[in-house]
Amino acid sequence: MAVKNSIKKPIKYLLIALLVGVALYNSVYFEPLDERHIAQKKGVFDPDAFAQKFMETKLTGLPAMEAGQFMEALEQDLEQFTAEKGRKMGISNDYYFIVEGNGIVLDIGNENVRIKLEGVADSELLIATDFIFGNAIREGSGMASIGDFQNTMDFNSISVAVNNRVRTDVVPPFLNEVEEGDHVYFKGAVEVNTKHPDLPNLRIIPLILEIE
């Protein structure tokens, strides 16, 4: 009997080990690496895709103030106009707008192209071609609301992504063709600080630039 029991024990342990192995194998889920990466991305905000969709589908119909009227309103009553028509974040002296208009190129600088607005006496604006940063596009367009995002990092990444699009897709083709004296159409975002407005040097962050 002792010999039989000693033989049965190894068989018993072997069967137990096999059963445990089968159970472990069935409990492991294998999936392709690509599918795993896709699954990890689901529910993760993609600011580049968000910015691309905005630039490709929203610009034409984006409401904008006529630039000449915008400048005249600022000169007449800056405080009231910005409070009534501008967008801002929280308690701030910075107000944001989307403006559009036609102008004549006066000067092509390293960071800006200066234009004179057509049909408006002594009104000039700068079209930004370098050092494009900040929240002017995001805030001026109302393209995103902080309440729609789970964290401020996602919200802030929108400005970075859309500014990158302007730097790579909007500015270079314009600079390659533009010359002094050209007539241009523009649509873009502008920031006005009510404490330090500096109206002759307002910078438009361009969304659309066309040489006419």
Positions in the chain short of pLDDT 50: 1-4, 20, 22-41
Residue 136, both tokens? 């002017």
User: What are the domain boundaries of the chain?
Assistant: 2-30, 45-211
| Choices 2.30.30.360, 1.10.150.300, 2.40.50.420, 2.40.160.40: CATH for 45-211 | 2.40.50.420
Could you count the other beta carbons within 10 Å of the beta carbon of residue 51? 24
At residue 42, the pLDDT reads: 52
Give tens-digit pLDDT for 148-201.
888 889 999 999 999 999 999 999 999 999 999 999 999 999 999 999 999 989
Query: Tell me, what's the pLDDT at 188?
Result: 98
Report pLDDT for 190.
98
CA distance 125 to 185: 12
pTM given for the model? 0.78
pLDDT on residue 13: 54
Beta pairing partners, 204? 127, 190
Residue with tokens 């910015």: 51
Contact in structure between 107 and 180 (CB atoms under 8 Å): yes
